[in-house]
Amino acid sequence: QQPVQSPQAVILREGEDAVINCSSSKALYSVHWYRQKHGEAPVFLMILLKGGEQKGHEKISASFNEKKQQSSLYLTASQLSYSGTYFCGTVDYGGSQGNLIFGKGTKLSVKP
């Protein structure tokens, strides 16, 4: 079951904040966040695991509500480099282990 992302698109001014949401109808093992710029590969941002563990490589924060099967990505004091499409990928109890199911993406545009 594909996770649902919201909003579909958002436009920010530099320095503004944004929240991107990812919601699943299934109980989740983990949520993975990626950013993809036009014509480039998706870049790993963060993993949030059942039980509270998080692994990430950038100064971006996220939350994972296991009971609600939801995750949110928080982009604060946005920079021009934050522009791109953000995807959440989920691993659920019903699917095979490690099989990421991606949402349709949220397009973020940061303007000067």
Partner 1 sequence: DAGVTQSPTHLIKTRGQQVTLRCSPKSGHDTVSWYQQALGQGPQFIFQYYEEEERQRGNFPDRFSGHQFPNYSSELNVNALLLGDSALYLCASSLGGPGPGYEQYFGPGTRLTVT
Contact window for partner 1 (CB under 8 A) among 13-21, 30-38, 58-66, 67-75: 30-38
> What's the closest the beta carbon of residue 69 comes to partner 1, in angstroms?
14
Contacts of 82 (CB under 8 A, 6+ apart): 12, 35, 75, 108, 110
**Does 24 interact with partner 1 (rule: CB under 8 A)?**
no
Instruction: Centre a 10 Å sphere on the Cβ of residue 51 and count the other Cβ atoms it contains.
Output: 9
Sign of CA dihedral 108, 82, 86, 69: negative
Question: Which is closer to partner 1, CB of 30 or CB of 72?
Answer: 30
**Does 55 interact with partner 1 (rule: CB under 8 A)?**
yes
Q: How many chain residues are in contact with partner 1, going by CB under 8 A? A: 28
Contacts of 19 (CB under 8 A, 6+ apart): 72, 73, 74, 75
Which parts of this chain interact with partner 1 (CB under 8 A)?
2, 29-30, 32, 34, 40-44, 47, 49-50, 53, 55, 87, 89, 91, 96-105
